[in-house]
Amino acid sequence: MFLSFGFLMSIGFKEFYRKSDYIFYSNNRVPKIQLWVFSYVFTFLTTILVGFMIFLIRKLF
């Protein structure tokens, strides 16, 4: 739940305050929806990886 909320808040912030940053991706013909999906998947996988590492550290020590 927090992963989705934080991700959506980040997207909202960037949509309102950093619209000019998208120009780089737009010039490389990357659709905005593709950026959102890739970002969400990458965030999700990173969270799973960090959670797994924390689990292993707690289990081993």
Q: What is the pLDDT of residues 6-51, one digit of tens each?
A: 888 888 887 788 777 766 666 777 788 888 889 889 988 998 999 9
- Residue 28: the pLDDT is 78
- Rama region for 8: left / alpha / beta (φ>0; ψ in -120 to 50; rest): alpha
Q: Which residue range forms the structural domain that includes residue 22?
A: 2-60
| pLDDT band at 52; cut points 50, 70, 90 | very high
- If one counts the domains in the chain, the total is 1
- Residue 10: the pLDDT is 83
Secondary structure letter of residue 61 according to DSSP? -
